[in-house]
Amino acid sequence: MIRSLLALLLVLCSCITAFAQPNLRRQTLPAPFSSYSMYVCDTTGVRTGAPGTAQIWNYASLVRRGTDTTFTIYTDRTALPSPVRERFPNAEVVVIDDTTTSIYRTVNNTWRLEGWITPTTEMLVGVDPYDVRPSEIVFNDPKFDIFNGSIQSPFPTPGAKNVTGSHFYIYDGFGQLVLPDFTYNNVARTTQRDTMSAEVTIGPQKAFVKTISRKTTWQEVTSNIPLFIIDESTIQVFNANNVSLFGPFTFKTVRYRRAGQTTDVHEDPSQSLLVAPCPATNDHVTIMGLNIDPNNIVVINTIGEQISCPTTQTDAGIMIDVRELAKGSYTVLVLEGQRMRTASFAK
């Protein structure tokens, strides 16, 4: 009986391990200096999909909006003009995403927002800035905080306004992300929801501008560079009796990052490494992006075991025979000279 119970306990523990999701750690936070561009897509019919484990988020049919792209730079406070640096003296990381500049600092191992700037608006968070996210995020462990501050905006009336708001952040999904030009495994999905209310005066009456926004982001669990982002927001103006005066005005953007794109401003484009096709649908996959003939190639499974796979040199790269592999996720370790490079694929 005791042996049976012990066996059952071991099975349960192994199941828990199999379904455990890797934590998001500091390497997934903004850090200078890197940059990336993302394709802007048609938003029609694009939904955030379901949270949870072992998810497959399929966005293979995304339609690009012409040649539109957005460019994002992670930098430090030196990127800010002198007057802005004076208003944000504690700035550590500055994220310039298209036309929005967000300014962060670290407090007790937590990244916190100091404020943000757009072409028409500037917000400064109060003396007790709210937590954006700690240096480690556990799956399905929501974080919530409230904040206050001030905002300079011409809408609906110009001038400075006091604001209050709340911030919600959760690592709510883990699985596979299918984009038009590549399929990624071991992808984490995070969702953040922000609300903000500013008191204004319109003619003789008091009113409140209320903003609700949701940002859903997919990224690899070892990277701070997003693969796919859906931004949604609603703005509405209410009177003191909570009756709508204007709106709601809704906005939505959908963006994805091109496969194989380098992310560091100092990185050589020839350094990107891919394994295709992914997922592997035939007998072989090919490692592309090698600069020199590698000294060694190793394939490991999700628990770190080395798997024996025949390899062949081709004009396109190194071809790996995957016919004997079981279904699952694998990592390729490539030793080029003194440097180790990695890429993942699934079968």
* pLDDT attached to residue 222: 83
Whole-angstrom distance, CA of residue 153 vs CA of residue 159: 6
- Residue among 177, 210, 175, 150 at smallest CA distance from 21: 175
What's the CA angle centered on 292, arms 287 and 298, to 5 degrees?
Answer: 45
- 146: which strand partners? 166
| Tens digits of residue pLDDT in 153-206 | 887 678 888 999 999 999 999 999 999 999 998 899 999 999 999 988 877 888
Q: What are phi and psi of 271, to 5 degrees?
A: -85, -15
* pLDDT attached to residue 262: 52
Q: What percent of the chain shows pLDDT beyond 90?
A: 33
Please determine, for residue 1, whether its predicted confidence score (pLDDT) is greater than 70.
Answer: no
Q: Model's pTM, two decimal places?
A: 0.70
What's the average model confidence in pLDDT over 51-57?
95
Whole-angstrom distance, CA of residue 44 vs CA of residue 199: 33
Q: Where are the alpha helices (DSSP H) in 28-151?
A: 82-87
Query: Residues 159, 152: contact at Cβ < 8 Å?
Result: yes
Please determine, for residue 58, whether its predicted confidence score (pLDDT) is greater than 80.
Answer: yes
Longest dimension (CA), the chain: 79
Q: What are phi and psi of 28, to 5 degrees?
A: -95, 5
Whole-angstrom distance, CA of residue 217 vs CA of residue 30: 13
* pLDDT attached to residue 5: 33
Sign of the Cα pseudo-torsion (287, 291, 297, 302, in order): negative
Sign of the Cα pseudo-torsion (258, 263, 268, 272, in order): negative
* pLDDT attached to residue 19: 45
* pLDDT attached to residue 79: 83
Chain centroid to Cα 236, Å, comes to 27
Residues 6+ apart with CB under 8 A from 221: 22, 24, 28, 174, 186, 187, 188
What's the average model confidence in pLDDT over 264-281?
58
